[in-house]
């Protein structure tokens, strides 16, 4: 029996089927470790600052426990690739090499945030690096499919990656997207981070008929499931998938079994709600992606307690600086809100379109319309 | 030189064709757009010139179609989506409301979506309640989306070209009953700005402010009144309702002090109420009388006999005007 039969329902009884992480090049594994560690430190620190200070006033969904996918993406995507993320966006944002200071300033709603404080955590984007996120679950999946269509048309080796949770697979648009991506062989990687819960509601209360990756497989052969907390294995898997997508242009659906230690939203412990047990959380903490990789690297003598200490210090300093920078930053003074929409008359001076503009708009009244 | 006389449908096609020739990043996407009937003739033949990659047929997945247009627009494509009926487009409300309308704002104006959505509204010949709704006021209620309802072949070409090249998300509502109307249209490309109403006829005794196909009906009615009773009615075709040409509405209202608003949709909570309040808020204590006409707050019957009772027509509008002007026909 293989890992493909393991899911959130049975994993506690099928420990033996959880694969061990593989060994990869030292430099690559160190890069992965540093990213995952940084993300963990950033998120834990942000969670501490979030409440009760209440200076970051926007819904924040922390990704503590789900560092593996962003860590991998940070090494395999290039600037021309587009990345679309769910509301648990911080890891994805950083994986696209977007600046940490601008992320934190955005959470504080400040002028120099990634989006001037207009988007907040769950809607953050970094246009320059082709990174976008959003909170209405499956919406970004459809957007990503369109982006992949444009990548295919442009034919410049760019690809599209979209990350989402298994809850997005409840939505009709997800299945429309899968169908069309496979129909048109679009260069897109769908990464489904299956953490079992839509807020509190587990997958088996919401979805019928077996594993998601198997259902997707009906549309085309490129669909797999992996254990998501072995960062090096995940790196090798995703790296190979992206190489294949770039070469042959096809979609790929990758279901990644993982778990969030943080509550759905915010920093508080959510055991009291009763939807999951301490036992379950502790089980998954044994398989924490960051700790497992750290232990592995120690064992291989790639790092030791001194280097870990240095790494911790550096990232703690980075996030402290980003928080101080954000607290000191200003809010936008003016609410320039109408100029940000298109609900205004076109400014022709700014338009660069090679069309004839010398048409009198009153012609319509002079030309008789036949039909009435 | 031969006059360029086009139907409304041909004018749309000419706008699309010229835009696609001008800019290789213009794409037309919609169900059946690359078959010979070409969505009532508005896309006929485009596929022969621009191939199926730029004139894309699409599965019956409106939600995905609209979402996709966002992803394509992010790669600098200018997208024209086509819906045979606006009723089907409602599957894409999430993409329009939760994503497109606020995309630019939440990016702090770093990211633009040049998306034009053509939505056709059926009327007459038993279209029934699922083929005839016109949701212009829904979309006009939404910030970040521009809404046009062109009533003539001239307007539809200019507004469509404006939308395609404007970098702004736009919904263009096309009334199917206008598609066979003909008019001379400049053969060159031109743009009509949003937020500029067109004064179809000048007048002093009454202003008719109207939307969509009712503008053409209002023009005919006003010409009748001038000929038969020597009453000069001003007719303003709003052309776009978001943004709205507030200046034109206020100016005309202050001039005639009598305003009739014609809105081709349900009367309650719609565009006519918006125009009504705009006039009163700007009346400068002058007395202005306003009436409005729309559809009953109920759904369109399919039966052609009952359908006639449902819609506004020449007679209904004329009767309201007679009463409004205290005018007795047999005088």
Question: Residue A344: is its pLDDT beyond 70?
Answer: no
What are the phi and psi torsion angles at A128 (to 5°)? Answer: -60, -35
- Using the structure block, give the residue that is written with the tokens 């943080």: A262
User: In the 8-state DSSP scheme, what is residue B86?
Assistant: H
Q: Which residue, among B183, B141, B189, has the nearest Cα to B163 in the 3D structure?
A: B189
DSSP string, A196-255: SEETTEEHHHH--SS-HHHHHHTT-S-EEEEETT-HHHHHHHHHHHHHHHHHH---EEEE
Nearest to A297 by CA among A21, A5, A70: A21
Residues A212 and A218: beta-carbon distance below 8 Å: no
- Give A306-360 as a DSSP string: HHHHHHHHHHHHHHHHHHHHHHHSPPPSS--HHHHSS-S---TTT----S-----
CB contact under 8 A, B198 and A148: no
User: What's the distance, CA B216 to chain centroid?
Assistant: 12
Q: What is the pLDDT of residue A339?
A: 77
- DSSP label of A114: T
Percentage with pLDDT > 90 across chain A: 84
Question: Which chain A residues in 149-178 lie under 8 Å from chain B, judged by CB atoms?
Answer: 149-151, 153-154, 160, 172-173, 176-177
DSSP three-state, residue B294: strand
Q: How many domains does chain A have?
A: 1
Containing structural domain, residue A316: 3-343
Q: How far is CA A164 from CA A83, A86, A167, A267, A303, in A?
A: 11, 5, 8, 21, 32
- Cα–Cα dist A89/A164, whole Å: 10
How many angstroms away from the CA of A285 is the closest CA of chain B? Answer: 36
Q: What is the mean pLDDT of residues A163-172?
A: 97
Q: For chain B, which domains are there?
A: 5-184 (3.40.50.970), 198-324 (3.40.50.920)
CB-based contacts of A238, cutoff 8 Å, min separation 6: A72, A73, A76, A189, A191, A254
Yes or no: say if A84 and A132 are a contact pair by the CB < 8 Å rule: yes
Please check whether residue B242 is in contact with residue B140, taking contact to mean a CB–CB distance below 8 angstroms.
Answer: yes
pLDDT in tens, A8-44: 999 999 999 999 999 999 999 999 999 999 999 999 9
Can you tell me the mean pLDDT for A180-197? Answer: 98
Q: A30 — contact with chain B (CB < 8 Å)?
A: no
The secondary structure element, H or E, covering residue A145 is helix A139-154
| pLDDT, tens digit (0-9, with 9 covering 90-100), for B49-89 | 999 999 999 999 999 999 999 999 999 999 999 999 999 99
Q: Is the pLDDT of residue A1 over 80?
A: no
ipTM of the complex, rounded to two decimals: 0.95
Q: Is B136 a catalytic residue?
A: no
Q: Do B71 and A364 touch (CB under 8 A)?
A: no
| A41 in Cβ contact with A312 (< 8 Å) | yes
B117 neighbors B160 (Cβ within 8 angstroms): no
Q: Which of B74, B124, B177 to mutate to test the interface with A (most CBs of A within 10 A)?
A: B74
What is the phi/psi pair of residue B318, to 5°?
-60, -45
* The two three-digit tokens of residue B236, written as one number: 């303003």
Residue A290 falls inside a structural domain: yes
In a domain, A183, yes or no: yes
Q: Is residue A358 part of a domain?
A: no
When CB atoms are compared, the residue of A341, A348, A365 closest to B200 is A365
CA separation, residue A89 to residues A35, B189, B295 (Å): 15, 44, 46
Do residues B208 and B253 make contact, with C-beta atoms less than 8 angstroms apart? no
CB contact under 8 A, A143 and B186: no
d(CA A329, CA A337) in angstroms, rounded, equals 20
Whether residue B251 contacts residue B224, with contact meaning beta carbons closer than 8 Å, is answered with no
Contact indicator for B137, B233 with CB cutoff of 8 Å: no
Distance of CA B227 to the CA centre of its chain: 29
Q: Which of A81, A83, A8 is nearest to A259 (CA)?
A: A8
Confidence tier at A89 by pLDDT (50, 70, 90): very high
Name the strand (E) or helix (H) holding B295.
Answer: strand B289-295
Q: Does residue A109 lie in a domain region?
A: yes
Can you say how many angstroms the Cα of residue B175 is from the centroid of all Cα atoms in its chain? 7
**Stretch 310-349 of chain A: residues touching chain B, C-beta under 8 Å:** 337, 339-346, 348
Chain A hits for B242, Cβ within 8 Å: 343
- Given a contact cutoff of 8 angstroms between Cβ atoms, the answer to whether B128 and B83 are in contact is no
Per DSSP, helices labelled H in chain B are 8-22, 38-41, 46-54, 62-73, 86-89, 93, 101-106, 136-140, 153-164, 213-229, 246-256, 271-281, 304-310, 314-324
Question: How far apart, in whole angstroms, are the C-alpha atoms of residue A20 and residue A4?
Answer: 15
- pLDDT over 60 (residue A188): yes
- Shortest distance between the Cα of B154 and any Cα of chain A, in A, equals 6
Question: Quick check: B67 and A115 CB within 8 A?
Answer: no
Which element (helix H / strand E) includes A151? helix A139-154
Can you give the pLDDT at residue A369?
52
CA of residue B151 relative to chain centroid, distance: 7
Each residue's pLDDT tens digit, B87-119: 999 999 999 999 999 999 999 988 999 999 999
Maximum pairwise Cα distance, chain B: 66
On chain A, the residues whose CB falls within 8 A of the CB of B73 are 146
Q: Which of A146, A363, A370 sits opposite B154 (nearest CB)?
A: A363
Contact B68/A82, CB-based, under 8 Å? no
Distance CA B169, CA B80 (A): 10
Spell B90-110 as b/e; 16+ CB within 10 A means b.
bbbbbbbbebbbbbbbbbbbe
Average pLDDT over residues B34-57: 96
B62 catalytic per annotation = yes
Residue A352 lies inside a defined structural domain of this protein: no
User: A82 has which bridge partners?
Assistant: A160
pLDDT reported for residue B330: 59
Asked whether A254 and A192 are in contact (CB, 8 A), the reply is yes
> Which two tokens mark A161?
């990656």
- Tell which wins on pLDDT, B260 or A365: B260
- Angle between helical axes of A26-50 and A289-299 (0-180°, round to 10): 140
Contact B68 A355 (CB under 8 A): no
Q: What is the CATH number of the domain that holds A295?
A: 3.40.50.970
pLDDT in tens, B122-168: 988 888 899 988 999 999 999 999 999 999 999 999 999 999 988 89
Split at pLDDT 50, 70, 90, the class of A353 is very low
Of the two residues A265 and B21, the one the predictor is more confident about is B21
Is the residue at A367 inside a domain?
no
Instruction: Write down the pLDDT at residue A349.
Output: 45
What's the mean per-residue pLDDT of chain B?
94
Residue A319: inside a domain: yes
Nearest C-alpha neighbor of B329 from the set B231, B256, B204, B245: B231
Confidence at A148, pLDDT banded by 50, 70, 90: very high
The answer to whether residue A166 sits within a structural domain is yes
């Amino acid at each position: 029996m293989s890992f493909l039969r393991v899911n959130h329902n049975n994993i506690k009884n099928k420990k033996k089927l959880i694969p061990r992480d593989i060994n990869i090049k030292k430099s690559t594994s160190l890069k992965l470790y540093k990213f995952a560690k940084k993300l963990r430190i950033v998120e834990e620190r942000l969670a501490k600052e979030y409440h009760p200070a209440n200076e970051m006033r926007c819904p924040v969904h922390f990704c503590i426990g789900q560092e593996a996918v962003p860590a991998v993406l940070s090494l395999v995507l290039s600037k021309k690739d587009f990345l679309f993320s769910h509301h648990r966006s911080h890891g994805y944002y950083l994986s696209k090499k977007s600046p940490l200071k601008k992320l934190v300033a955005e959470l504080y709603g400040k002028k120099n945030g990634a989006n001037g404080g207009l988007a907040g955590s769950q809607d953050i984007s970094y246009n320059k690096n082709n990174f976008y996120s959003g909170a209405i679950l499956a919406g970004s999946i459809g957007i990503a499919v369109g982006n992949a269509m444009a990548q295919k048309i442009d034919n410049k080796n760019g690809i599209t990656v979209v990350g989402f949770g298994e809850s997005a697979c409840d939505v009709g648009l997800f299945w429309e997207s899968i169908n069309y991506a496979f129909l048109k062989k679009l260069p897109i990687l769908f990464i489904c981070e299956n953490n079992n819960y839509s807020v509190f509601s587990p997958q088996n209360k919401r979805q019928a008929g077996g594993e998601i990756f198997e259902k997707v497989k009906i549309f085309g052969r490129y669909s797999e499931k992996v254990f998501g907390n072995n960062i090096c294995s995940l790196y090798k898997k995703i790296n190979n998938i992206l190489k294949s997508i770039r070469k042959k242009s096809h979609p790929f659906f990758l279901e990644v079994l993982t778990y969030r230690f943080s509550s759905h939203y915010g920093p508080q412990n959510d055991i009291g709600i009763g939807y999951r047990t301490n036992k379950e959380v502790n089980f998954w903490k044994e398989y924490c992606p960051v700790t497992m990789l750290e232990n592995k690297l120690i064992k291989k003598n790639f790092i030791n307690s001194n280097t870990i200490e240095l790494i911790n210090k550096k990232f703690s300093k980075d996030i402290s600086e980003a928080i101080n920078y954000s607290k000191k930053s200003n809010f936008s003074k003016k609410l320039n809100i109408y100029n940000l929409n298109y609900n205004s008359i076109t400014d022709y001076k700014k338009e660069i379109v090679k069309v004839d503009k010398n048409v009198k708009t009153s012609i319509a009244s002079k030309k008789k319309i036949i039909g009435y | 030189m031969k006059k360029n006389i086009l139907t409304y449908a041909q004018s749309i096609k000419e706008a699309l064709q010229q835009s696609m020739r001008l800019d290789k990043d213009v794409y037309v996407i919609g169900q059946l757009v690359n078959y010979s009937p070409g969505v009532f003739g508005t896309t006929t033949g485009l596929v022969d010139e621009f191939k199926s990659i730029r004139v894309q047929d699409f599965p019956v997945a409106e939600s995905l179609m609209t979402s996709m247009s966002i992803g394509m627009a992010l790669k600098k494509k200018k997208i024209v989506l086509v819906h045979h009926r606006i009723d089907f487009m409602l599957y894409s409300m999430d993409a329009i409301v939760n994503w497109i309308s606020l995309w630019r704002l939440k990016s702090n104006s770093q990211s633009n979506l040049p998306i034009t959505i053509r939505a056709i509204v059926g009327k007459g010949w038993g279209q029934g309640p699922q083929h005839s709704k016109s949701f212009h006021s829904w979309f006009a209620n939404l910030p970040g989306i521009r809404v046009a309802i062109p009533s003539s072949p001239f307007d539809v070409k200019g507004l469509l070209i404006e939308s395609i090249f404007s970098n702004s998300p736009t919904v263009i509502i096309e009334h199917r009953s206008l598609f066979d109307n003909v008019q001379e249209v400049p053969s060159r490309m031109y743009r009509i700005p949003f937020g500029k109403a067109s004064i179809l006829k000048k007048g002093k005794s009454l202003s008719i402010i109207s939307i969509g196909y009712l503008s053409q009906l209002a023009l005919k009615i006003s010409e009748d009144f001038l000929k038969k009773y020597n009453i000069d009615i001003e007719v303003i075709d709003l052309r776009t309702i978001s943004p709205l040409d507030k200046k034109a509405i206020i100016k005309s209202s202050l001039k005639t002090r009598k305003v009739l608003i014609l809105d081709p949709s349900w009367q309650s909570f719609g565009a006519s109420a918006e125009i009504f309040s705009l006039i009163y808020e700007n009346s400068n204590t002058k007395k202005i009388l306003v009436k409005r006409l729309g559809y009953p707050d109920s759904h369109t019957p399919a039966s052609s006999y009952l359908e006639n009772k449902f819609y506004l027509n020449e007679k209904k509008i004329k009767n309201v005007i007679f009463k409004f002007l205290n005018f007795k026909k047999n005088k």
